[in-house]
Amino acid sequence: MSQARPSGEHSSGSPRTVRDVVFVDGVRTPFGKAGEKGIYAGTRADDLMVKCIRELLRRNPSLPAARIDEVAVAATTQTGDQGLTLGRTAALLAGLPRTVPGFAIDRMCAGAMTAVTTTASGIGFGAYDVVIAGGVEHMGNHPMGSGADPNPRFMSERLVDPAALNMGNTAENLHDRFPAITKERTDAYAIASQQKLAAAYASDRIQPDLVPVASLKPGQGWTVNTVDEPPRPGTTLEDLAALRTPFRAHGRVTAGNAAGLNDGATAAVLASSEAAAELGLPVKMRLVSYAYAGVEPEVMGIGPVPATEKALKNAGLSIEDIGLFEINEAFAVQVLSFLDHFGISDDDPRVNRYGGAIAVGHPLASSGVRLMNQLARQFEEDPSVRYGITTMCIGLGMGATVIWENPHHSDYTDSSAASTETAAAATTEGAAA
């Protein structure tokens, strides 16, 4: 009878090690407003994704397309131009070799983040060397929840409050749970998000990772879109105070202190540290840990709190070790509940330095890679920061957090270089023996 080998060994007896995963590069389309007047009205979602994949290859000429081992693309509504195994179809449409496989993934708002962590796990395990991961959401073509058929048991068995199926209602519930988070606080936070994004645009921090997208509108001809459509940099507190509260009479959530309905796509290249070194690819971040957590669907916005606690525990870090936070701003109340939990002030300079989704938009499944792009830029300009996080809440009661390490920090160790040096030393010692 054959004896089962230890789980940490291959059949050859050599130990299996988890490889380091690095974020090589990320891009996105400018984000548009959903609807007939938006910049992407009449544009297909899969074509937005193709733009991102092609731009990644253009920006990284040392990466042969045939070396890409997987393409993972997320979308919340997987039908029409966001259906048909989107990762595979986008890979073919982008001109990648037919040998490159792909798949589609859905975790609502954390779709692209899940595409990243899922393929990163494959890299760490050794199944992949290089992948492309991202997400797309065309909310003009596919309004959130369109075509969905929730199981009647959700209502008949009261599995969740019916209001939990509407994200705006869950944000109002979060206000109820945390009365210290007033509408005045959320409006002030929203204004700051608009101002920080405007400042980031003025200093050319956003533009380098945007892919120009040409769109055609009847009667208007072609337009090349190079900037985000949603921002409202001149918004004032008086403007926000006058907005209606659509989810509850005399409520606190408005279109001004929440992300809008948007269209857009994102994509990133991830690799093992060894493959990045072999191919001469840049290393913008190293993956440290990640975690997902479930919470009550009725207050889904609190999801980033337990997800972050799990990710920190997995990494052996504390919240004090985190020097930069990229928090998706689905709703201002959701961000503020996270900050209050960890004792972080509303205007802490570590938080969303370039602004967030309240200003730039939130095309659901695509947003995770936008957070990563912005964190990578901040790592580059601030080598004093060693660790940063990207985190977001997720519809139906979940949270997601990824912790990254800054390769520009003085304590960062390039594991691929270290392993090369170790191998070289071992070879030298073997020769001497």
Q: What is the pLDDT of residue 217?
A: 83
Residue 151 forms part of a structural domain:
no
Q: Is 109 a known active-site residue?
A: yes
The H or E element containing residue 86 is: helix 86-93
DSSP structure class, residue 165: G
Q: C-alpha angle 396/247/326, rounded to 5°?
A: 55
How many whole angstroms separate alpha carbon 429 and alpha carbon 240?
Answer: 69
CA atoms within 13 A of residue 174's CA, in its CB half-sphere:
32
If you compute the radius of gyration of the chain from its CA atoms, what whole number of angstroms results?
Answer: 22
Residue 425 forms part of a structural domain:
no
CATH classification of the domain holding 370: 3.40.47.10
Residue 240 forms part of a structural domain:
yes
Q: What is the pLDDT of residue 415?
A: 62
Q: What is the pLDDT of residue 10?
A: 46
User: Which pair of tokens denotes residue 224?
Assistant: 């090349």
* Selected catalytic residue, list 10, 138, 362, 409: 362
For CA atoms 87, 92, 95, 98, give the dihedral sign. positive
How many whole angstroms separate alpha carbon 404 and alpha carbon 129?
Answer: 19
Residue 70 forms part of a structural domain:
yes
Tens of pLDDT along the chain (433 residues)? 333 434 444 445 567 789 999 999 999 999 999 999 999 999 999 999 999 999 999 999 999 999 999 999 999 999 999 999 999 999 999 999 999 999 999 999 999 999 999 999 999 999 999 999 999 999 999 998 888 888 888 888 888 887 777 899 999 999 999 999 999 999 999 999 999 999 999 999 999 999 999 999 878 899 999 999 999 999 999 999 999 999 999 999 999 999 999 999 999 999 999 999 999 999 999 999 999 999 999 999 999 999 999 999 999 999 999 999 999 999 999 999 999 999 999 999 999 999 999 999 999 999 999 999 999 999 999 999 999 999 999 999 999 999 999 999 999 977 655 444 444 444 344 444 4
Neighbours of 324 (CB within 10 A): 22
Q: How many domains does the chain have?
A: 1
Q: What is the pLDDT of residue 417?
A: 54
* Selected catalytic residue, list 109, 138, 142, 175: 109
Q: Is 393 a known active-site residue?
A: yes
Q: What is the pLDDT of residue 14?
A: 64
Residue 55 forms part of a structural domain:
yes
Contacting residues for 232 by C-beta, under 8 A, at least 6 apart = 194, 359
Q: What is the extent of the structural domain holding 102?
A: 21-140+159-403
Residue 225 forms part of a structural domain:
yes
Residue 269 forms part of a structural domain:
yes
* Selected catalytic residue, list 138, 142, 175, 393: 393
Place of tokens 């007033």: 182
Residue 398 forms part of a structural domain:
yes
Q: Is 52 a known active-site residue?
A: no
DSSP structure class, residue 15: B
